[in-house]
Amino acid sequence: MSKPTPISGFPEWLPAQRMIEQNVVEKIRSTFELYGFAPLETRAVEPMDQLLRKGETSKEVYVLRRLQEDPAAGGGDDALGLHFDLTVPFARFVLENSGKLQFPFRRYQIQKVWRGERPQEGRYREFLQADIDVVDRDTLPFHYDTEMPLVIGDAFRSLPIPQATILVNNRKVCEGFYRGLGLEDPDQVLRTVDKLDKIGPEKVAALLVETAGATDAQARACLRLAEISTGDASFVDAVRALGVSNALLDEGLEELVRVVDAAAEHAPGLIRAELKIARGLDYYTGTVYETQLRGYERFGSICSGGRYENLASAGNERFPGVGISIGVSRMLGLLFGHGALSVSRSVPTCVVVALPHEDLRGRCDGIARALRSRRISTEVAPSAAKFGKQIRFAERRGIPYVWFPGAGGEPDTIKDIRSGEQVEADAATWTPPAGDLLPEVSGAR
């Protein structure tokens, strides 16, 4: 068999990176549960009509098909696709289980998703997301929109990553402004303005004229709105100065002020009002969020979401919601690529029990069992060798301690191979310092 060729866009972390990922996921999960979000996992596939009913996603969906399927039979697995986010399957889950859920329903989901987009740094075709959403029946109080960034802010502060800034906008601001200008297709304007960071203002202006029927003056006004960026509620005056009036615009500005003011009170510096933020998916109807890491702004958002009024709806049933999603793989891929995260050792092992000779393997296994019974990760040396070689085995993996079984009635000893200190020890009572018990994840200094 020839050496396999890696498939781009499907990250496979090395063990040390995987331990970092698990550490990060555990801290995120813990923060979500502190806020009362309950765990949920949904299936990997959804009906194609559900995946394609909201947003321009048809080019990104992976279709599920059996190799031997007969296309003429119809109704096969090609009616299913892998989910491209966790919000659409969550909305479907709520509709299917509404009679069993208590509302408002708060859930978190940490799962893989799949998108058929072009792989590049920090962008993958298979990746891990960590979502929180709150849905309610008929109406959802707006205070949940103000809570979302506070949860994410706490989650990010628990991680050894650069400072995060959550950029927030409200689609009502944009849509109301565009309607106030006289533009009749605000959704097309939103989709076009959402490309600002990718293609720049000149090309966006040209596209607005070409695809949204805007005049040059209307296109310039849209760009002036998108230029507004403030760390406080002063964006209201900046919008008013553009001279556009509309009731929906007024409603959006009021809501956006509430989000910004709540963050200023509880987490100063966390949020910035950024009126070019639109989000590409059509199901968002109000507040929208994107998040940048300091020093990594050029790579775009690593956490995003917003409010949706009609995604979870069928007939007379409607469950509006608001949610936000951390792109765990995206964030970690960027940080790994720049050497910004490290772990204190490449294995969970805290102690290696040295093996004097094979006849003593049973005794060494007993020492390891005694340590493991007290949740101390331990392995026995792979083979009997000179102790210097067994110490180097531990050093190469970053394992801090080597245990030496006593000979001829002598007590066991344990050696901290970093400092060289060696002391008598009993496997029934010895405990390492708390900082050595588990691998520690740290950010770049």
- Phi-psi region at 231: left, alpha or beta (left = phi > 0; alpha = psi -120 to 50): alpha
In whole angstroms, what is the distance from residue 402 CA to residue 67 CA?
A: 52
Report the first-to-last Cα separation within the chain, whole angstroms: 43
| 3-class SS of residue 274 | strand
Question: Is 178 marked as binding a ligand?
Answer: no
- How many other β-carbons are positioned within 10 Å of the β-carbon of residue 180? 18
Question: Is 129 marked as binding a ligand?
Answer: yes
Query: What is the DSSP-derived secondary structure letter of residue 241?
Result: T
Query: Burial level of 113, CB count in 10 A (0-12/13-18/19+)?
Result: buried
Question: Is 378 marked as binding a ligand?
Answer: no
Q: Give me the count of residues in the chain.
A: 445
Question: Is 86 marked as binding a ligand?
Answer: yes
In whole angstroms, what is the distance from residue 144 CA to residue 332 CA?
A: 28
Token pair for 371: 């340590």
Question: Is 92 marked as binding a ligand?
Answer: no
Confirm if 113 and 84 have CB atoms less than 8 A apart: yes
Question: Is 115 marked as binding a ligand?
Answer: yes
Question: Is 308 marked as binding a ligand?
Answer: no
Question: Is 412 marked as binding a ligand?
Answer: no
> Torsions phi, psi of 354, nearest 5?
-65, 145
Question: Is 133 marked as binding a ligand?
Answer: yes
Q: From the annotation, which residues make up the binding site for L-histidine?
A: 85-87, 115, 129, 133, 279, 283-284
Q: From the annotation, which residues make up the binding site?
A: 85-87, 115, 129, 133, 279, 283-284
